[in-house]
């Protein structure tokens, strides 16, 4: 009886480890994408990279941020008038991607985040883009600058 | 300076990064010309790094040792239902941990002695206050474009001001390689005065130049690079980026 119990438990133990580890080959990921450049092509490329990244890992397994500062703010400016970029951002947000913008940049470029940029909430504004990146990296986020 | 005998206090202050940028630049020159002092710096650095390693290692160990421990527990008392029960609980939690915290497990090997200790002899910069409240940022600049450099300096300044405002202790290292070295070249830098005033303003800011780039400019274009005083020279920017990340620094490209 004891032996049977042990065998059953061993089987469950094995399945427990296996079952969890095969779900999503990459496991959970925390990633921050850094956009501080203003070239449109490169920004659209970054959005594409992020979507491909989600496709590979699964939105439910990811905590994904985009930190924009310096020339990177133009991504959200373009999104106001460009339906293609706007659509991509809406779609990424639906998959849980957080877009964060630097307060220093808003001040420096004299931007009104409600009118000049696409869909920015007060909670999306971080005091310093660079400090936010450093903070996220220290929390275990992988840093990618496409 | 280079003709004088260098005191232990000076070397100790150098290794602990307590010198001003002018003193630092002098120290590099002096140590470069004095092999005995150079050996002392290396020895002191080794001790410092070993100490840091000793503090760094323990939190990592439990992650590494989880698996073998369970194996022996499991095979040793296979008949006992209780042990199997414990193994089940541990196994499932291990499974979850492996799954949810894979980045942590993956990063563990980085902290083994071999790789970290390997850089001690040629790590030419001197930093490291690894207290938990400290923020360390390595900012890489590899563009020589004037507007780009200016924007980058603005970013460096604003993050330093931000940390100053909130009272956060921080260190920022701006590392230049490739075309980015332009910023620190005395003769052609578009912002030499600004670099100097930033050095004066922020004692937690260091400008770093890559020796490989300096050598390459010399070999390919016959240029003898002259750097703005206070600039720190390291062997290789790429190697430095890896070292700093292994030491827990945040890495940001501008």
Confidence of residue B92 (pLDDT cuts 50, 70, 90): low
Measured distance CA(B238)–CA(A88) in Å, rounded:
34
* Residue B185, min C-alpha distance to chain A (Å): 25
Does pLDDT of B144 surpass 90?
Answer: yes
Element holding A14 (H helix, E strand): helix A2-22
A27: left (phi over 0), alpha (psi -120 to 50) or beta: left
Reported as a pLDDT band with limits 50, 70 and 90, residue B7 is: confident
CB spacing of A17 vs B248 below 8 angstroms: no
Interface of B with A in 41-100 (CB under 8 A): 74, 78-81, 84-85, 87-88, 91-92, 94-96, 98-100
Is the separation of the CB atoms in B108 and B60 below 8 Å?
A: yes
* Chain A residues close to B251, C-beta within 8 Å: 137, 143
Please state which of the ranges B32-46, B58-72, B174-188, B220-234 shows the lowest mean pLDDT: B58-72
- The answer on pLDDT for A30 being more than 70 is yes
Please report which confidence band the pLDDT of residue B36 belongs to, taking 50, 70 and 90 as the band edges: low
The model's pLDDT over A64-113, given as tens digits with 9 standing for 90+, comes to 999 999 999 999 999 999 999 999 999 999 999 999 999 999 999 999 99
Q: Which two tokens stand for residue A3?
A: 């032996």
Q: Which residues of A touch B155 (CB under 8 A)?
A: 36, 69-70, 104, 129-130
> A52-66, B26-40, B210-224: which has the minimum mean pLDDT?
B26-40
Beta bridge partners of A63: A30
- First-last CA distance in chain A: 60
How far apart CA B71 and CA B88 sit, in angstroms, is 12
The verdict on a CB contact (< 8 Å) between A21 and B163 is no
The arithmetic mean of pLDDT across residues A2-11, rounded, is 62
CB contact under 8 A, A2 and B80: yes
Q: Which helix (H) or strand (E) holds A144?
A: strand A142-144
* Locus of tokens 């496409």: A146
Q: For residues A88 and B26, what is the distance between their CA atoms, to the nearest angstrom?
A: 53
Residue A132: pLDDT above 90?
yes
pTM of the model: 0.64
Residues B38-63: tens digit of each pLDDT: 666 666 665 565 555 444 444 443 33
Select the more confidently predicted residue: A73 or B33: A73
Task: Name which of B100, B162, B254 is nearest A128 (Cβ-Cβ).
Answer: B162
Q: What is the mean pLDDT of residues A25-36?
A: 95
pLDDT at A78: 98
Nearest Cα to B232, choosing from B253, B248, B211?
Answer: B211
Contact B92 A9 (CB under 8 A): no
Taking each helix axis from N to C end, the angle separating B81-100 and B61-76, rounded to the nearest 10 degrees, works out to: 150
Q: Write down the pLDDT at residue A80.
A: 96
> Which residues in A lie closer than 8 A to residue B73 (C-beta atoms)?
none
Q: How confident is the model at residue A55 (pLDDT cuts 50, 70, 90)?
A: very high
Please determine, for residue B124, whether its predicted confidence score (pLDDT) is greater than 50.
Answer: no
Q: What is the mean pLDDT of residues B84-112?
A: 46
A20 pLDDT exceeds 50? no
- At B93, the pLDDT band (50, 70, 90 cuts) reads low
State residue B28's pLDDT score: 65
For chain A, counts of helices (H) and of strands (E):
6, 5
Structure tokens at B227: 């750097």
Q: Mutate which of B66, B80, B81 to disrupt the A interface (most A C-beta within 10 Å)? A: B81
- For testing contact with chain A, the best of B82, B107, B162, B249 (most A CBs within 10 A): B162
Percent of chain A with pLDDT over 90: 82
CA B139 to chain centre: 11
With CB atoms and an 8 Å threshold, state whether A145 touches B94: no
Per-residue pLDDT band for B193 (boundaries 50, 70, 90) equals very high
Average pLDDT over residues B203-210: 98
Residue A134 is predicted with a pLDDT of: 97
pLDDT score at B133: 87
CB contacts of B159 in chain A (<8 Å) are 128, 130-131, 134
β partners of residue B5 = none
Q: Do B159 and A71 touch (CB under 8 A)?
A: no
Residues 6+ apart with CB under 8 A from B89: none
Are A73 and A100 in contact, with CB atoms under 8 Å apart?
Answer: no
The two three-digit tokens of residue B19, written as one number: 């010198």
| Interface-testing mutation among B159, B167, B249, with chain A (most A C-beta atoms within 10 A) | B159
Is any Cβ of chain A less than 8 angstroms from the Cβ of B109? no
Residue A114 has pLDDT above 60, yes or no: yes
* pLDDT, position A21: 42
Query: Given a cut of 70, is residue B169 above it in pLDDT?
Result: yes
How much is the average pLDDT of B163-181? 97
Measured between CA atoms, how close is B95 to chain A, in angstroms? Answer: 5
Half-sphere exposure of A29 (CA within 13 A, CB side): 23
Residues in chain B: 254
pLDDT at B76 (0 to 100)? 46
Query: What pLDDT does residue A43 have?
Result: 98
pLDDT of residue A25: 82
């Amino acid at each position: 009886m004891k032996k049977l119990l042990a065998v059953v438990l061993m089987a469950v133990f094995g399945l427990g480890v296996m079952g969890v580890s095969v779900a999503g080959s990459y496991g959970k990921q925390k990633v921050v994408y850094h956009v501080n450049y203003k070239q449109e092509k490169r920004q659209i490329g970054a959005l594409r990279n992020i979507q491909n990244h989600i496709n590979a890992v699964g939105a439910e397994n990811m905590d994904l941020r985009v930190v924009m500062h310096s020339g990177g703010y133009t991504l959200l400016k373009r999104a106001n008038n460009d339906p293609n970029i706007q659509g991509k951002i809406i779609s990424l947000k639906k998959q849980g991607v957080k877009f964060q913008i630097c307060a220093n940049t808003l001040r420096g470029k004299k931007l009104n985040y409600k009118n000049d940029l696409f869909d920015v909430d007060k909670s999306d504004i971080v005091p310093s883009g660079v400090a936010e990146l450093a903070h996220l990296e220290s929390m275990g986020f992988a840093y990618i600058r496409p | 300076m280079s003709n004088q005998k260098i005191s232990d206090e000076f070397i100790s202050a150098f290794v602990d990064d307590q010198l001003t940028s002018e003193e630092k630049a002098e120290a590099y020159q002096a140590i470069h010309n004095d092999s005995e002092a150079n050996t002392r710096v290396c020895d002191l650095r080794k001790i410092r790094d070993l100490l840091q390693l000793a503090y760094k290692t323990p939190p990592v160990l439990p992650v590494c040792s989880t698996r073998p421990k369970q194996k022996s527990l499991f095979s040793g008392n296979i008949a006992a239902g209780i042990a199997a029960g414990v193994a089940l609980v541990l196994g499932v939690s291990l499974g979850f941990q492996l799954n949810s915290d894979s980045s942590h497990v993956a990063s563990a090997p980085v902290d083994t002695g071999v790789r970290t200790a390997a850089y001690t002899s040629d790590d030419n910069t001197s930093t490291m206050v690894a207290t938990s409240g400290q923020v360390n940022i390595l900012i890489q600049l590899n563009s020589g474009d004037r507007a780009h450099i200016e924007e980058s300096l603005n970013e460096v300044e604003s993050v330093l001001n931000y940390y100053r405002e909130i009272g956060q202790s921080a260190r920022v290292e701006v590392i230049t390689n490739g075309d980015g070295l332009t910023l620190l070249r005395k003769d052609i830098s578009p912002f030499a005065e600004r670099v100097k005033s930033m050095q004066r303003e922020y004692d937690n800011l260091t400008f770093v130049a890559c020796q490989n780039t300096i050598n390459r400019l010399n070999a390919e274009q016959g240029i003898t690079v002259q750097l703005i005083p206070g600039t720190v020279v390291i062997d290789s920017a790429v190697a430095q980026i890896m070292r700093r990340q292994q030491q827990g620094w945040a890495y940001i490209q501008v």
